[in-house]
Amino acid sequence: MKRKVLGMVLATSMVAATLVGCGGGEAAPAATSEPAAEAEAPAAEAEAPAADAEAEAPAADAAAPSGNKVGVAMPTKDLQRWNQDGSNMQAELEAAGYEVDLQYASNDVATQVSQIENMINGGCSVLVIASIDGESLTTVLEGAKSKNIPVIAYDRLIKNTDAISYYATFDNYKVGQTQGQYIVDALDLDNAEGPFNMEITGGSPDDNNATFFYNGAIDVLKPYMDAGKIVVPSGQIDFATVGTPAWATETAQARMENILSSNYSDGTTLHIALCSNDSTALGVENALAANYTGEYPVVTGQDCDIANVKNMIDGKQSMSVFKDTRTLASQVVKMVGQILKGETVEVNDTTTYDNGTGVIPSYLCEPVFADVNNYKELLIDSGYYTEADLQ
């Protein structure tokens, strides 16, 4: 499958034309409904390590399958956002006339591999995959490549395979920058003397996005750390040290409880809890509620999950980053259509995301910050949530 790329100019002007910028302004289905029933597939053996990947070029000239069935592989139903991503994708694909095979894999790599195998053997013409572990799909995707089934990596880059045709996501580095800049502004770091105490809770080490989020935030905060205005009492700073496997709330909570009891039980103030997303922020907020009585820190997040927006309204989380899953779904549905019709596929980034076999042409949607002052406009006026959802 040849990667046909429509250049940045058109795509950039489209971004400028929309508020949360990506897939045009069409109305999308309500985001909070339960997704279609999850079809469980039998577990399969985990994939071979990335080093075994073949380095050969994709089968570029064979004809792409011409059917209209689209496989959508999502990581888990445990996090609200993936339910929204899945149900939005399904609704939009069906509205566009496609048959959809939507699967959730309970955050289990072997299950996701097996589901993808079934999609390949079940006649899907395009695969849209939000991976659990971006490095574990090399072998199964050989099967897609051999049948010339194009694959779109959804939200998370899939690495070490040349079976990926396109990548659609939000600007992950900008998500981190947005969190970092929020902290700078909230504490007026350019003028305040500090020092401010910060603890960092990162994302899952097997998720390519997590490094982008971390780097985006730390690149903004580093000058203040270097100047001694921000200090990290636990000493836990490196991405490898602050990561949260599987983005699990409980893991983030347990780690923060340890940090609080080791470094803050003497009354030391925690000023900043930099959390990469909402599920980790929730863990940190739980730990704070149970183990900390000092001045409440600035807490960051990402996704605008309902529990976190409620916490934002209650003053327990300072901000989140809103990634409108409707716009990502719309963009991906558009890409699917362009692929199946043999049209040029719209992308707006051809430099950032190298998956180990080369740069994957990407479409990056715009993330925006949300806090207690703008959440109504962003989330309720846009129909993403109802008032009742947030009560």
Question: According to the binding rule CB under 6 A, does residue 155 interact with ligand BGC?
Answer: yes
Buried/exposed 182-197: b ≥16 CB within 10 Å, e otherwise: bbbebbebeeeeeebb
**Residue at 181: amino acid letter:** Q
Structure tokens given for 168: 């659609």
Among positions 264-293, residues that touch ligand BGC (CB under 6 A) are: 277, 279
Q: Is residue 156 at the binding interface for ligand BGC, with CB under 6 A as the rule?
A: yes
Chain-centroid distance of CA 87 in Å reads: 16
Which of 92, 142, 199, 303 binds ligand BGC (CB under 6 A)? It is: 303
Using the rule CB under 6 A, which residue among 112, 115, 302, 348 binds ligand BGC? 302
3-state secondary structure 261-323: HHHCCCCCCCCEEEECCHHHHHHHHHHHHHHCCCCCCEECCCCCCHHHHHHHHCCCCCEEEEC
Nearer to ligand BGC, 90 or 302 (CB): 302
* Pick 133 or 155: Cβ nearer ligand BGC: 155
Among 224, 247, 292, 384, binds ligand BGC (CB under 6 A): 247
157: which 2 tokens?
Answer: 């880059």
The residue sitting closest to ligand BGC, measured at its beta carbon, is 277
Minimum CB distance to ligand BGC, residue 325 (Å): 9
Least CB distance from residue 15 to ligand BGC, whole Å? 18
Q: Give the per-residue contact string, 199-218, with ligand BGC (x = CB under 6 A; - = no).
A: --------x-x---------
Residue 308 near ligand BGC by CB under 6 A: no
Please give the size of the binding site for ligand BGC, defined by CB under 6 A.
Answer: 12
Whole-number Å distance between alpha carbons of 197 and 361: 40
Q: How far apart are CA 170 and CA 166, in angstroms?
A: 13
Residues 6 or more apart in contact with residue 366 via CB below 8 angstroms: 15, 20, 21, 22, 170, 171, 174
Minimum distance of ligand BGC from residue 264's CB (angstroms): 26
Enumerate binding residues for ligand BGC (CB under 6 A): 79, 81, 155-156, 207, 209, 247, 277, 279, 302-303, 323
